[in-house]
């Protein structure tokens, strides 16, 4: 059965491409039908300024109708294997289609998908080139021609459409750039990159969901690199939970970070107990050095107790299990371990 599927898979991919090519031709043809009257009027020397507003509204309407014909493309791409050999021809066809339709944001999203695919495949150089192409498409540095019937100076390429109603890809591009930096070993630069994107109010306001996910990634990376204090990381996590309270991923990573704080607090408590025992032994024998150990004990007294973290950790692990199962093999055993350990120590 597996061998039959492997032999049939290239043919299935070809059928996928043919289907999307037909839809792309229908979308581009609908746009060209709108351009022909404008070109005919220009050739007859008619004044286009009087009807410019109505003409451009018609073009935008046709562009949107063309994009509506491609509304299921994202769902179809998710059904294909995440392999470079499979998705690269599909993405190339889509980029050509979006360029013909003048949909720059959709074209940038196609380049972004290419960058993710290359990064996951380990082709970091190709991923960086795809990100540069995405930024060029987004900034309009390479304005696509809307077809053979486009009017010179008509401004078809100046209308930017969000692909399938999605927000602008600016924040998504910044996050993908940070992921690529992290994958290539430049962790500190990745944290700076994602922080700069979050400091841009325009990017944050244009895509709140991606902004919240970027905050979650910033908190995880800051904890991994040690670039922020514990209170700062907890503050970022609290902001993330405000937006993603009912998601598995956010609750799992909050619980995991607090679990690390719990382990650190347990280690400090063990050191404090050992220091107290050593101080008691020295006091009984009349030895010196008790003052320094007493001072160290007073330093440990200001630390948090490990039991203070347990309730929140168990709560977040349980919440993550409620909303998903991706991390179930980490969340469930750790939650039960904490539950039984605390119960046994009570």
* Residue 123 domain flag: yes
Last residue of a domain, one of 144, 162, 189: 144
* Residue 11 domain flag: no
Residue 112 near residue 134 (C-beta atoms within 8 A): yes
Token duo for residue 79: 């059904």
* Residue 153 domain flag: no
Kindly state whether residues 27 and 134 are assigned to the same domain: yes
Domain count, the chain: 3
Residues 6+ apart with CB under 8 A from 203: 170, 171, 174, 197, 211
Which range marks the domain in which residue 26 is found?
16-44+55-144
Kindly state whether residues 120 and 187 are assigned to the same domain: no
Neighbours of 114 (CB within 10 A): 24
**Alpha-carbon separation of residue 254 from 227, 265, 312, 339 (angstroms):** 17, 16, 9, 18
Kindly state whether residues 184 and 213 are assigned to the same domain: yes
Kindly state whether residues 214 and 114 are assigned to the same domain: no
pTM of the model: 0.76
pLDDT at 7: 80
Kindly state whether residues 131 and 25 are assigned to the same domain: yes
Q: List pLDDT tens digits, range 263-291.
A: 998 888 888 888 888 877 666 665 544 44
Kindly state whether residues 71 and 93 are assigned to the same domain: yes
Residue 171 near residue 210 (C-beta atoms within 8 A): yes
pLDDT at 296: 44
Neighbours of 37 (CB within 10 A): 13
Residue 178 near residue 194 (C-beta atoms within 8 A): yes
Return averaged pLDDT per consecutive 10 residues of the chain, 346 residues in all.
Answer: 72 89 86 57 49 51 66 86 90 91 88 95 95 88 39 35 69 95 95 94 90 95 91 94 94 95 89 84 57 45 73 95 95 94 82
- In whole angstroms, what separates CA 51 from the centre of its chain? 43
Q: How far apart are CA 151 and CA 38, in angstroms?
A: 7
Kindly state whether residues 234 and 338 are assigned to the same domain: no
Kindly state whether residues 228 and 319 are assigned to the same domain: no
pLDDT at 100: 87
Kindly state whether residues 79 and 135 are assigned to the same domain: yes
- Max Cα separation, the chain? 111
Kindly state whether residues 132 and 231 are assigned to the same domain: no
* Residue 215 domain flag: yes
* Residue 9 domain flag: no
Residues 6+ apart with CB under 8 A from 62: 30, 31, 33, 34
pLDDT at 10: 83
In the block, which residue shows the tokens 């280690």? Answer: 267
Residue 180 near residue 124 (C-beta atoms within 8 A): yes
Give which of 56, 161, 51 is closest to 106, Cα–Cα. Answer: 161
* Residue 177 domain flag: yes
Token duo for residue 304: 């948090």
pLDDT at 295: 47
**Alpha-carbon separation of residue 284 from 122, 294, 297 (angstroms):** 63, 14, 17
* Residue 151 domain flag: no
Kindly state whether residues 304 and 233 are assigned to the same domain: no
Kindly state whether residues 232 and 257 are assigned to the same domain: no
Report the chain's C-alpha Rg in angstroms.
Answer: 29
* Residue 317 domain flag: yes
CA torsion, ordered 332, 338, 340, 345, to nearest 10 deg: 180
CA angle 54, 67, 55 (to 5 degrees): 10
């Amino acid at each position: 059965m597996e061998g039959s599927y492997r032999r049939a898979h290239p043919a299935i991919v070809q059928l996928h491409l043919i289907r999307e090519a037909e839809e792309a031709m229908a979308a581009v043809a609908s746009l060209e039908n709108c351009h022909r009257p404008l070109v005919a009027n220009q050739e007859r020397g008619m004044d286009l300024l009087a009807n410019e507003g109505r003409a451009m509204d018609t073009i935008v309407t046709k562009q949107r109708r063309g994009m509506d014909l491609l509304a299921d493309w994202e769902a179809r791409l998710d059904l294909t294997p995440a392999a470079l050999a499979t998705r690269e021809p599909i993405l190339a066809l889509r980029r050509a289609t979006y360029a013909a339709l003048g949909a720059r944001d959709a074209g940038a999203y196609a380049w972004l998908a290419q960058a993710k695919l290359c990064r996951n495949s380990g082709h970091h150089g190709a991923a960086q080139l795809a990100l540069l192409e995405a930024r060029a498409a987004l900034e309009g540095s390479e304005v696509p021609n809307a077809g053979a019937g486009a009017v010179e100076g008509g401004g078809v390429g100046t209308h930017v459409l969000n692909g399938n109603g999605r927000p602008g890809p600016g924040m998504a591009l910044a996050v993908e750039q940070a992921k690529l930096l992290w994958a290539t070993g430049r962790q500190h630069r990745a944290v700076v990159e994602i922080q700069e994107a979050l400091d841009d109010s325009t990017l944050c306001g244009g895509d709140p969901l991606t902004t919240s996910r970027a905050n979650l990634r910033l908190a995880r990376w800051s904890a991994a690199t040690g670039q922020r204090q514990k209170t700062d990381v907890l503050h970022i996590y609290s902001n993330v939970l405000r937006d993603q309270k009912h998601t598995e991923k956010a609750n799992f990573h909050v619980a995991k970070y607090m679990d690390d704080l719990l382990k650190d607090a347990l280690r400090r408590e063990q050191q404090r107990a050992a220091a107290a025992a050593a101080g008691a032994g020295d006091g009984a024998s009349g030895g010196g050095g008790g003052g320094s150990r007493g001072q160290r004990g007073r330093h440990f007294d200001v630390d948090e107790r490990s039991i203070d973290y347990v309730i929140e950790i168990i709560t977040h692990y349980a919440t993550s299990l409620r909303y998903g199962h991706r991390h179930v093999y980490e969340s469930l055993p750790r939650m039960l371990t904490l539950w039984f350990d605390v119960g046994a120590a009570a």
